């Protein structure tokens, strides 16, 4: 029987996949995540999701590997994880009152057949206008320094948002579950 693997080091994606009540393993992929020259954020998300799935699948036979990557785009340019309080304050200040697009790439790689299914699910998010005190209050309480856009929509970060628009709200967290269910069904795995 084929074994399902999540090629990710993200605790958020692991929690998301657990929602589907499937048996799976988690293996962190080791790839260079540097965007290529002239690559759009959407192209980066798709390429990296495929590379993550393939890199794990080629090392582990008899697997069906889920690879995913998310790149936030602000005014056409990639917006990374803040990694520090200071950077998160800067990000939230420049994004307030503006729309950000989160490109969530997903790939399902069948290491047995070599079949690859991949796509990108886009989610538009508009941030509210925020005072410096609101930004500070939020960051102290949630510390979203490992999240692109400096906010966790699944947590207190939802209070920073005017709207979320897209076909799969799960994609904003990092794993487009609706798309994944469709991909898994094409590989013969029924969720319900």
CB 55 within 8 A of CB 29: yes
Phi-psi region of 46 (alpha: psi -120 to 50; beta: other; left: phi over 0): alpha
Per the residue annotation, which of 69, 122, 146, 167 is the catalytic one?
69
Write down how long the chain is.
192
Q: Which is nearest to 125 in space by CA: 104, 141, 146?
A: 104
Distance CA 159, CA 152 (A): 10
CB 105 within 8 A of CB 45: yes
Structure tokens at 92: 């939230």
Distance CA 148, CA 173 (A): 10
Is residue 132 annotated as part of the catalytic site, yes or no? Answer: no
Distance CA 99, CA 126 (A): 4
Q: Residue 83 gets which letter from DSSP?
A: -
Catalytic residues: 69
């Amino acid at each position: 029987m084929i074994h399902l693997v999540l090629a990710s080091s993200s605790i958020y994606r692991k929690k998301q996949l657990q929602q589907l009540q499937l048996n799976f393993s988690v293996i962190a992929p080791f790839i260079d995540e540097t965007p290529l020259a002239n690559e759009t954020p959407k192209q980066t998300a798709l390429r990296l999701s495929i590379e993550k799935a393939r890199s794990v699948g080629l090392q582990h036979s008899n697997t069906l590997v889920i690879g995913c990557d998310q790149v936030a785009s602000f005014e056409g340019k990639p917006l990374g994880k803040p990694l520090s309080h200071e950077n998160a304050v800067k990000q939230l200040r420049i994004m307030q009152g503006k729309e950000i697009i989160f490109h969530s790439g997903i790939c399902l790689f069948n290491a047995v057949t070599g079949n690859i299914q991949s796509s990108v699910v886009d989610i538009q998010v508009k941030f509210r206008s925020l005072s410096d005190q609101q930004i500070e209050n939020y960051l102290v309480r949630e510390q979203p320094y490992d999240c692109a856009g400096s906010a966790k929509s699944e947590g207190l970060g939802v209070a920073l948002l005017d709207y979320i628009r897209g076909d799969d709200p799960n994609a904003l967290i990092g794993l487009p579950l609706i798309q994944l269910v469709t991909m898994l069904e094409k590989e013969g795995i029924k969720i319900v």
